[in-house]
Structure 1
Amino acid sequence: MAQHAPPARGARLGRVAGANGSVSTVSGVVLLLPGASRFFPGPLRPLARALGRAGAANGLVAHTVVHGGEASREEQARWAADEVGRRYGDVPVCLAGYDAGGLTALRAAGHEAVNSVLAMAPSLEETAGSDSPEPVKQLSGRQVLIVHGTNDARSDPEGSFRLAARAKKANRSTCRFEVHSDGHRLREHQAEVVALAVDFIVGALASGRYSRPVTDALAAPPPLGLRMPLASGFGRSLRG
């Protein structure tokens, strides 16, 4: 794959989690895209740990993208996807981001290696009636999951709903879950959010199967599949 301009190489891939360390066993890669503040990682750290456990059984590895240099976050995410191809060959990539990383995941989804996108509490500036809404064309052909707390005071959850509604028109494989009573950090129901994320990632990159709630959300017409409530206790009987 083509390499991006040198400034994008200010980014690097963090330590690998999952699989068994052998490149030949890797069948998919998750790129974890952090938020704007390293002091508030949201659900990314527990997600990385959970993927380390789930990845070993499903041939998946996860890397956190460590940003640096002057290139935009989107350029660095695309460089990271290129780097996945260099290290692991032609394997599918899931971009999984929180906060500013969620927005990066959505924007960088057009990379040819990306087959799925997970955006948790994405930092969007979408407003009703905006003349320049976030693009969604790059999401075509990808599996897309957006997760947002209904009490998010930092990034309006209705903004992600509007984006999801536009994306659904061009890409039926789009769904969105609402985490009722949770805020921007998705802390109150972190276990459920992480379980949902792992279920989606493993389904998109490895098994091709999802739990019933995710399957229903992907199949449901809007707005039902875009306002799917994340049930308390989700993950206790995954794929049940």
Structure 2
Amino acid sequence: MTHARLLDTVAPSAPRGVALVLHGGAARRGSMRVSPTQLSVLRMVPVAARIARAVRGEAAVLRLLNSTRGWDATHTPVDDVRWALGQVAERFGPDLPVTLVGHSLGGRAALLAAGEHSVVSAVALNPWVYPEEGRADVSGRRVLIVHGDDDRVAPARRSASVACNLARTAELVGYVSVSGGKHAMLRRSDVFDGLAAQFTAATLLGREPTGVVGRVLAGEQWVEV
């Protein structure tokens, strides 16, 4: 049983792929239901819109609203991602490739769910992770981690450790350190949003990458911007 919901940003009738956008947000006392108006959810609206512009109607862009806030050990955001992937398969077909794009705990969920059957790539923005989660099997996937060096909520050293470990199984792992970037991604938002959009368009649709994403997909593992 899940209370997760999917919201369309763009949904063409015959997409070539799907970008699934995942929000963060810590648990709160009282009601644990996710509100469409909570800040962690709203922060992903411009990310989804930027991806929609980058894919130019060739891919669906959907935002996942989790069952509950935070990370409930009995039903985690990874469970909600798996539910959403099932919904995507029913709606668009079982063989459509998917890119996961998440922030904070959503970035954690994106990395931990990257090994799911239909997922071809994942983007984790300021992910809140444990170093040991780099043991996840992401064989054949391409992964981008983008982390602000002034993030006081999710330590960048943890995501850097995860990136090193994921590289043991992934087809490719790129790590971009954003100078002055804080956890909410409001400062230098254009960098965070743009990298997520460009990486999605390149790995999901085969678009020719440029700039930082081009460097990452050419094999440069560590980049500072």
> Could you say whether these structures have the same fold, taking a TM-score greater than 0.5 normalized by the shorter chain as the test?
yes
User: Which of 108, 115, 131 is the aligned partner of 1:110?
Assistant: 115
The structure number with the bigger radius of gyration is 1
Structure 1 window deviating more from structure 2 (140-149 vs 184-193): it is: 184-193
Residue 18 of structure 1 contacts residue 54 of structure 1 at CA under 8 Å; is this kept in 2? no
Is 1:74 the equivalent of 2:67?
no
The TM-score with structure 2 as length reference comes to 0.85
Change (3 A) 1:206 1:119: same
Partner of 2:9: 17
Change (3 A) 1:141 1:172: closer
Partner of 2:30: none
Residue 151 of structure 1 contacts residue 182 of structure 1 at CA under 8 Å; is this kept in 2? yes
Partner of 1:46: 46
Q: Distance in 2 between matches of 1:86 and 1:137?
A: 26
Matches within 5 A, 1:1-240: 7=1, 9-14=2-7, 16-18=8-10, 21-22=12-13, 25-36=14-25, 38-41=38-41, 43-55=43-55, 57-68=56-67, 71-89=75-93, 90-126=95-131, 133-220=132-219, 225-226=221-222, 228-230=223-225
The TM-score with structure 1 as length reference comes to 0.80
State the shift of 1:187 in Å.
1.4
Q: Distance in 1 between matches of 2:114 and 2:84?
A: 12
Residue 168 of structure 1 contacts residue 174 of structure 1 at CA under 8 Å; is this kept in 2? yes
Residue 109 of structure 1 contacts residue 139 of structure 1 at CA under 8 Å; is this kept in 2? yes
The alignment covers a number of residue pairs equal to: 208
CA root-mean-square deviation:
1.9
SS state at 1:144 partner: strand
State the shift of 1:42 in Å.
7.4
SS state at 1:63 partner: strand
AA matched with 1:177: V
Moved over 4 A (4+): none
Q: Distance in 2 between matches of 1:143 and 1:104?
A: 15
State the shift of 1:209 in Å.
2.6
State the shift of 1:162 in Å.
0.8
State the shift of 1:43 in Å.
4.7
Deviations 1:157-196 (A, max 9, x none): 0111111111123224110111101111121110121111
SS state at 2:96 partner: coil
Change (3 A) 1:136 1:219: farther
Unaligned regions of 5+ residues in structure 1, if any? Answer: 1-6, 127-132, 231-240
Q: Distance in 1 between matches of 2:190 and 2:43?
A: 9
Percent identical pairs in the alignment equals 28
